[in-house]
Amino acid sequence: MGAVTADLISRARAGDGDAFRELTEPHRRELQVHCYRMLGSFQDAEDALQDALLAAWQGFGGFQGRSSIRTWLYRIATNRCLNVRRSASRRPAKEWDVPGVEPPEPTRVGEVVWLQPFPDALLDGAIHVPLGPEARVEQSESISLAFVTALQVLPPRQVAVLVLRDVLGFHAAEVADMLDSTLESVNSALKRARAGLRRRLPAPDREPPPASGSPAEDAVVARFVSAYESADLDALVAMLTDDVFMSMPPMPLEYEGRDVVARFCTGIFGAGRRFDLVPTRANGQPAFGAYLRTPTGIRHGTGLVVVTLSGDRICAMTRFDNSALSWFGLPRSLPSR
């Protein structure tokens, strides 16, 4: 521990809020992403992070320096998230609310209705943190919607162990200490979590997406925007994989397969509904604010669409409601052109 850090710690122990902020601020972004992985909800993650930092401030006198500040903060944040996961008050499902559009019968009803997107703008300094030697999951995969959704259906303790071990690379002994558990219990939970995750994630032989921001990704995005904005159903459907998956939290409707997703899109574009898309990024993936054109020329934000790519095709589309737009710096409506 450096002399500067030691001085900050002694000042923070004495109640110096500025010293405490200086110690914790470098870890804030990565802790927010950690809470998001565990909870799947941008708002819940922000609340859990605030609770964790408050608990850390109030309990700083008890910081013994046996672990690093970072490890100590992860312990507090993880346990705060476990409390949220165990409480029953997650965001409830919403009824279908698109006027004049009758959705097709869903393939199934989704469980993770509280899922929310995470803005890429907040990933800077959070994804490329130095990982421990045990990390196994690619950092880009570890923030993807598919991975975060899969975590949500695992038991809370298994999620904590898997994220701390395989995503962040903490040693098993460190994780056992964070969770007030034993080495055997941590290793057992990790084994079960890995098996549960494998069952939930897409097949590993699926073609990977093009690199983020690459010309290949730009080309797919341009084709998607062109097809969507012109309501060219044939062009849009041609971009979908056979097993394309569509969900729309907090509505629990889920659709799997090109035919039923095509029927869904037919309903959305029916009755002359036309949209403008504003590009952004969520969870390391291309995303778009969707704005419905109106006769007055004003365009109303109806939601945020995140697409998952496999090669030059779309293998998943996730539509979130318009409450997500503000987290991406997108307005609720666009003026007439």
pLDDT in tens, 161-183: 999 999 999 999 999 999 999 99
How high is the pLDDT of residue 62? 79
Cα separation, 48 vs 34, in Å, equals: 10
CA nearest neighbour of 73 among 173, 184, 170, 189: 170
Structure tokens at 104: 């097709």
- The pLDDT, as a whole number, for residue 14 is 83
How confident is the model at residue 1, as a pLDDT?
54
Q: For position 2, what pLDDT does the model report?
A: 65
- Residue 17 three-state SS: helix
Residue-wise DSSP of 283-330? TTEEEEEEEEE-TTS-EEEEEEEEEEEETTEEEEEEEEEGGGGGGGT-
Q: What local confidence, expressed as pLDDT, does residue 88 receive? A: 65
Taking alpha carbons only, the member of 304, 279, 280 closest to residue 290 is 304
Q: CB burial class (10 A; 0-12, 13-18, 19+) of residue 41? A: buried
In sequence order, which residues have a C-beta less than 8 Å from that of residue 15 and are 6 or more positions away?
A: none
CB 94 within 8 A of CB 103: no
Query: In angstroms, rounded to a whole number, what is the distance separating the alpha carbons of residues 248 and 322?
Result: 11
Q: What is the pLDDT of residue 124?
A: 79
**pTM exceeding the 0.85 threshold for the entire prediction:** yes
Q: Which residues of the chain have pLDDT under 70?
A: 1-4, 88, 128
Give the three-state DSSP class for 239. coil
CB atoms within 10 A of CB 258: 16
Angle at 218 between CA 301 and CA 292, to 5 degrees: 15
